[in-house]
Amino acid sequence: MIVCRRAKHHGSRVPLVSSSAARTRGAAPGRVVVVWWLLEMGLGRGRFVAAVLGGVLVLVGCAEAAVTETTQPPGTLPEGMPTVEDIPPPPELDPVAVTEGEVLYQAQCATCHGRDLSGHPDWMTPNEDGSFKPPPHDDSGHTWDHSDQLLLKIVRDGGDFSQTRMPTFGHLLDDDEILAILEFFKAGWGPEEREFQWRVTWQEQQRDR
């Protein structure tokens, strides 16, 4: 927060960084004393503002350097693992599994997620408890954001996070049947969604090795 205070020996009002703002930005409140010291030394408005801006630029530069050194671009694999260029193309869909998956989906999933994979019409609006209604499983939803491994776990074991009311289906479907349902989902996705979902699935396979 920037506030205006009347500095000693000066009739003009100049901007100063408050102690609360200093704490918010990770700076020690004592640094504000330096600003007052600069004013006590009789710096004019122009020199004072230049000094403050110079200090801000130095701090920003240090912060950017620290981020560059400690973070990794999103979507990249840890050092020593294959790159995105090494990922093979998505495997061809198994038509037998797609057909089996559709039958299983209509029997076990369509009541909540829609016979056409469209989900609840108001699926993006949270319920009063913070959970969400059943999402679509076509490419208008977010199912294709997740790997086969995660989707298999959610269907089999249910959702273990507050945003979902997904029940468990492990007592009704085995892993192969759940994977067949996922194959049915994939048959309704576009090529970009298929490629993205395969990438996250393949990367997770490499991590699990």
The whole-number pLDDT of residue 3 equals 38
For residue 145, give the DSSP letter: G
Residues 3-18 pLDDT 10s: 343 333 344 433 333 3
Q: What is the pLDDT of residue 173?
A: 97
Give the pLDDT confidence of 61-106 residue by residue, as tens digits. 544 444 443 344 444 555 555 566 789 999 999 999 999 999 999 9
pLDDT in the model for residue 103 = 98
The letter for the amino acid at 151 is L
**DSSP states of 25-40 as a string?**
TT--TTHHHHHHHHHH
If we measure between CA atoms, which residue out of 193, 124, 181 comes closest to residue 156?
181
Residue bearing the bigger pLDDT, 55 or 200? 200
Confirm if 185 and 174 have CB atoms less than 8 A apart. no
Q: Which residue has the tokens 């050194």?
A: 69
Determine the Cα–Cα distance for residues 92 and 138; give it in Å rounded to an integer.
18
pLDDT of residue 85: 74
Distance between CA 76 and CA 73 in Å, rounded? 6
Q: Compute the distance between CA of residue 14 and CA of residue 39 in angstroms, rounded to an integer.
A: 10
What is the pLDDT at residue 70? 39
Q: pLDDT, tens digit, for every residue of 140-187? A: 999 999 999 999 999 999 876 667 778 899 999 999 999 999 999 999
Q: What angle do CA 135, 137, 139 make, to 5 degrees?
A: 110
Q: Tell if the pTM clears 0.75, that is, is over it.
A: no
* Structural domains of the chain ordered from first start: 2-70 (no CATH), 84-207 (1.10.760.10)
Is there a contact between 111 and 104 (Cβ–Cβ < 8 Å)?
A: no
Q: What is the largest CA-CA distance in the chain?
A: 86
Q: How many CB atoms lie within 10 A of CB 36?
A: 13
Paired tokens of 87: 């990922």
Compute the distance between CA of residue 95 and CA of residue 129 in angstroms, rounded to an integer.
40
Average pLDDT over residues 104-113: 96
Summarised one tens digit per residue, pLDDT across range 36-60 is 343 444 445 555 445 444 544 444 4
Give the pLDDT of residue 78. Answer: 52
The DSSP line for 35-94 is HHHHHHTT--HHHHHHHHHHHHHHHHHHHHHHHHHH---TTPPPTTS--GGGPPPPPPP-
Least confident of 20-34, 73-87, 169-183, 195-209: 20-34
Of residues 33 and 208, more confidently modeled: 208
Report the DSSP pairing between strands 13-17 and 2-6: antiparallel
The whole-number pLDDT of residue 105 equals 97
Close Cβ partners of 83 (under 8 Å, ≥ 6 residues apart): 76, 77
Residue 174 or 32, more confident: 174
pLDDT at 198: 96
pLDDT value, residue 48: 44
